[in-house]
Amino acid sequence: MPNITLSAVSKSYGGGDHAVKNLDLVVPDGAFMCLLGPSGCGKTTTLRMIAGLEQPTGGTIAVGDRVLDCVERGLYVPPEKRGMGLVFQNYALWPHLSVRENVEFGLRMRKVPAPERRARAEAALKMVHVDAAMDRYPSQLSGGQQQRVALARMLAVNPSVLLLDEPLSNLDARLRLEMRAELKRIHEESGATIVFVTHDQLEALTMATDVAVMSDGELQQLAAPMDMYARPANRFVAEFVGSPPMAIVDVGPSPAGLAGSLLRHVESRGAPERPGGVGIRPEALRFGAPPASAWREEALVEAVLPAGSSWTVRLRILDAELYALSYTPVEAAPGDVLTCWTDQLHLFGADGARMSSWDAAEVRA
């Protein structure tokens, strides 16, 4: 299936505020795209518009050359004619049908002959590893198994586009982890295009090939997950993606303390413009002997929080409190003073946008 293209898509409910504003988005064929953002940012509305469950109030949605929605031309293709599979947060399995019958249901509706139906249902259940429970009823399955059956039901129909709205939200932490790996495998094996809605940045980073971050109905950044993590396009994305989040130090008109120290450093490193904010990821804050090009300061250790495989350290640096995240043991105690440094600073302009000229300057340096 070709790309899904949203052009200047808007949606307002009942003439109120826009849930989605002027959205331009291309979902490439075969992509695993996550729509990521906080509650109410418009991601579910976007997914429902792609599915045809909501009609946009402005713009165009197309798959390749086939226009599915065009507000200007009064064009709208209903969900059942879009050839897309849907799984929503509250997946409903028929309680009186066995697992196999549940998966065959959609195929029966499409009048697929019985032997083929059976074979496709079994193949889909194998793909999600629930084939051993084929003759059980939903009430005899765990939540995770039920979730997989819902996925199998969708996969059996063989859609080239899968639309998933927080499908892992009812699962416990261990199952979520397992299902992330499963979904990634299913994506690779099926070759389907997946659009996945989540507010969980870890889910987006671990599974997606492309992440679209939304806020307040608007697209903030569209990028491959690790590119987004390394080079967030603006302060919103920088603070939303990453845990613990990036600290962004405001640089006012007469910066003192930590802001002053950071500003002096970036100016000495040839920052092309004066930033409005300087961001530091906790794991980019290091201890010990810094390289000559790094920013450095003395830091007072306030607390050390070991968590098995990582150590979070709360530091006071000049007038500010920052968190450092280390994946090697931190042998320090409250009251100790350490030299901390980083060579990975993120600069944002007064408007909050990333100063990519700084990234380029850093690469040259």
Can you give the binding site for ligand ATP, defined by CB under 6 A?
Answer: 13, 19, 37, 39-45, 199
Q: How far is the CB of 277 from ligand ATP (least distance, A)?
A: 25
Q: 125 is written with which tokens?
A: 């259940």
CB 211 within 8 A of CB 31: no
The nearer residue to ligand ATP, 45 or 234, going by C-beta atoms, is: 45
Q: How far is the CB of 13 from ligand ATP (least distance, A)?
A: 3
The nearer residue to ligand ATP, 101 or 200, going by C-beta atoms, is: 200
Q: How far, in Å, CA of 165 to CA of 162, rounded? A: 10
Closest CA to 31 of 165, 223, 181, 191: 191
Q: How far, in Å, CA of 328 to CA of 15, rounded? A: 54
The nearer residue to ligand ATP, 18 or 120, going by C-beta atoms, is: 18
Helix (H, G, I), strand (E, B) or coil at 56: coil
The nearer residue to ligand ATP, 25 or 259, going by C-beta atoms, is: 25
Q: How far is the CB of 235 from ligand ATP (least distance, A)?
A: 19
Q: How far, in Å, CA of 69 to CA of 61, rounded? A: 5
Q: How far, in Å, CA of 212 to CA of 290, rounded? A: 35
The nearer residue to ligand ATP, 163 or 258, going by C-beta atoms, is: 163
Q: How far is the CB of 47 from ligand ATP (least distance, A)?
A: 8
Q: How far, in Å, CA of 242 to CA of 282, rounded? A: 9
Residue 167 sits at φ, ψ, to 5 deg, of -75, -10
Q: How far is the CB of 343 from ligand ATP (least distance, A)?
A: 36
Q: How far is the CB of 216 from ligand ATP (least distance, A)?
A: 9
Q: How far, in Å, CA of 349 to CA of 152, rounded? A: 47
The nearer residue to ligand ATP, 201 or 342, going by C-beta atoms, is: 201
Question: Which residue blocks in 113-172 are alpha helix, DSSP H?
Answer: 114-127, 143-156
